[in-house]
Structures are given as C-alpha cells and as structure tokens.
Amino acid sequence: MTRFKVLITFFLALYLISCAHRSPQHKTMYVCHFRYGGDWKHFEFSETPYYEAKNFDANYFFRAKVEIVTPPSGEKLLKIYSYAEAHGRDQLIHQAVFNVSQAPLNENITGEQTVYEPATEAEMKYWCEAR
C-alpha cells in the first residue's frame, strides 16, 4: 500500500505541475475602424463562446452592428451590418460575412470595405483586425 500511495502522490504532483505551466487560452479581441468624412471611430469587442452583437453609431448618419457567431460547423464568423437612416428609421444598406477562424493577429482581416448610400451620396469606409 505504501508504494501505491507514493506513486499516486508522484503522478498527482506531476499533473499539478503540468497544469501550472499551461498558459490560459488567448481570447481574441477584434477592432473595427470606421471612417466617415475624415473622422475615424474605433470599436473593440472580444471573442466569446456565445453569440455576441455590438451596435454602435459609426457617425451621425451611419450605424453598424458587428456579430461574432460560431455555427455548429465550428468556423468563427464575423458579420457586419451597416445601416443608414432613412425616413426616420434605420435601413440595411450593406452586409458582409468574414470567416475569421484562422485570422492572423494584428492584420487587416476584412480588407477595406466601402459602404455607399445613394440617396445622400454619403460614403463610409471600414476595416477590422484581430488582436
């Protein structure tokens, strides 16, 4: 019995040491940069294990909603919806989906996107990165 207790103690100690040296999983942060009329706005949000949507005013005319979705297939999707105000309510004028499962950190993961609203001839540009 004594040898058994020593072996169990030894393997338990090895297990605890190996657990202490594991680094916590890196949680990816995403930053989207919106430009309208020469002004930049930056919005940051984190990767979560569940559905997350962030709504924000990109400026006084455009609005955006950014979602991170992980469907059952397991790939991570960044969905961006752009809205413009028309007749007192928001109208969807642009929608984009990007697979960010293997997105490199600190690089542009969406490319520069241009959203154009024909009624007012307004234009907004945006791009997003993973950090």
Instruction: Tally the domains of the chain.
Output: 1
Distance from C-alpha of 89 to C-alpha of 12, rounded to nearest angstrom: 62
Q: What confidence tens digit (pLDDT) does each residue in 15-43 have?
A: 444 444 434 456 788 899 988 888 888 88
Residue 42 forms part of a structural domain: yes
Q: What confidence tens digit (pLDDT) does each residue in 110-125 have?
A: 999 999 887 778 888 9
pTM exceeding the 0.85 threshold for the entire prediction: no
Residue 15 forms part of a structural domain: no
Q: What is the mean pLDDT of residues 42-59?
A: 66
Residue 90 forms part of a structural domain: yes
Q: How far apart are the first and last CA of the chain?
A: 52
pLDDT at position 19, please? 42
Residue 124 forms part of a structural domain: yes
Report angle CA 28, 102, 69 to the nearest 5 degrees.
Answer: 65
Domain that holds residue 33: 25-130
Residue 7 forms part of a structural domain: no
Distance from C-alpha of 47 to C-alpha of 76, rounded to nearest angstrom: 9
